[in-house]
Structure 1
Amino acid sequence: MDRGGCQMSGGGGAVDGGGAEQHGMITMEDLESFSEDQLSDSGNGSLQEGETMEEDEEPDRLLHYWQDVARGHQVEVSQEMAEPIQQLTSNNQGRSNRERVPFTLLTRKEKCGELLYEKRHYEKGHWACITMREDTYEQSICYGFMRIMRYICQQNSLGDYLGMSLPIVTVVHTDENHSVISHDVTVAYYLPTEHQAQPPQPLDSDIIIEIWPASVVYTRPFTGPTNEVTIINQINAMAELLDSPGVCVNDSFIVAGYTNPAHSNRQNEIWFLERR
């Protein structure tokens, strides 16, 4: 199986020599945080006084920098990712152009000023999805993200960069007791508004364009890494907070990621889907 150019050796939780927590995976948004200042400070490909950077050297410089960062996440990035990395980096220098998946807020439940959960309505829309099954949950996410990234950046019928949207979501399945997560994980990317009417087709035959129906979602924010343990904990915590958990699907959940796993205060949400 083509694993999108990344390999991973474990589920995270280690700490590297610089004190950064390794969460065992890396997402597309890591690329967007690589500013020119960071690249210059990295010591990889930075220019010395009097040197110039040829245009055709830039993709390799970005690739080498990302490879160094990825190793801290136990991820290996292949040479074929150079062009997608270059495209995503150059198109996402600012954060203002990241489109949010649109929704309507229905209700909020709070206790003592703390948000417990929100109830939202998401409209029908096109999503690019890939389902992976690897040895670990984290590996499935890594391989899926890398292939979705290539679709966004170049491997689509337009041959062009499609634009970022947030959150990137993963659909996970559990047993009835919410104690075990299946390693069959679907990674999904919401097509930006300009591509909703006519979604560009993936060149990767394993990526499917799906129309997700309008849905009511109960969502709760959480911070930190997303691995099998934390997801199970979040699912069980959310189930206890809902007034009527029986209105929601009991064995399929969504993890929504808004910031990259390297961030010390990563922003995520757990989504419960209301039964139709």
Structure 2
Amino acid sequence: MMKPIQLLAVFAVAFQLPSFLAAQGAFEVGEIAPYTIVKEAKNYEIRSYAPANWVCRDHTGDNFRNRDQAMSFFDLFDYITGQNSAETDIKMTAPVTVHTQNNFDAQGNSQYKMCFYLPAIHQANPPSPKNSAVYIENRPALILAARRFGGFVKGQRDWNEHKEALKADMKADNELDFDFDNFYGASYDSPYTFKDRRNEVWVAKLQ
């Protein structure tokens, strides 16, 4: 059986909070990005998300390696712990999302956009980031299909496998007007949550 610290290391690989920060109790999830369920299917559901502000950081490359994940996460974590124009602390929310956009540039690299949902109290007027690599995204209204799964995600391959499973289920239901080439990975839990973990893959309805 893996020791807790080993499990935390596995968690870090999945784009989420690095283990040594989690050990300090810094990742305490508050609000969850709100949505309305439009359709419930056997292995997925279709949701409606209203427009909302998220704080984001991008990475472009052929992969989203552990060091890249850590850099994105820490820049966003710095923003919610005072590195913003209001110099205020902002509560951690869920989920942490990473949007993977494949073939983003002429070299065939992907863009990996990691984002934190901003709490309701900061939605109307979010403070500006001090770090130029961090920005506020006004995410438009979206219809998303979501597939939920548990456990610790071990890497990008796990996300891709669940995205392909979602794609297969939706095509079997003739739900074809979704972007299956690009997707979101969403994680809701602290690294210290060992049971009933909530991970999701999302694909967006084509506009």
Q: What are the equivalent positions in structure 2 for 1:140-219 lying under 5 Å apart?
A: 140-174=68-102, 183-219=110-146
Runs of 5+ unmatched residues, structure 2: none
Residues 217, 67 of structure 1: alpha-carbon distance in 2 compared, 3 angstrom cutoff: closer
Between 1 and 2, higher relative CO (CA 8 Å, sep ≥ 6) is seen in 2
TM-score by length of 1: 0.62
Match of 1:236 in 2: 164
Q: Which amino acid aligns with 1:234?
A: H
Cα distance in 1 for partners of 2:54, 2:22 equals 31
How far does residue 249 in structure 1 lie from its aligned partner after superposition?
Answer: 1.0
* Per-residue CA distance 1:1-45 (angstroms, 9 max, x = gap): xxxxxxxxxxxxxx6697647324374496xxxxxxxxxxxxxxx
Equivalent residue, structure 2, for 1:106: 38
The total of aligned residue pairs comes to 196
Root-mean-square deviation (Å): 3.0
Please give the alpha-carbon distance, in whole angstroms, between the structure 1 residues aligned to 2:3 and 2:62: 23
Q: Which amino acid aligns with 1:168?
A: V
- Report matched runs for 1:115-126 at 5 Å: 116-126=43-53
Higher helix share: 1
**2:61–2:109: 8 Å Cα contact kept in structure 1?**
no
Is structure 2 residue 183 aligned with structure 1 residue 253? Answer: yes
Is the 2:144–2:204 contact (alpha carbons within 8 Å) kept by the matching residues of 1?
A: yes
Q: 1:268 aligns with which of 199, 203, 207?
A: 199
SS in 2 for 1:169: strand
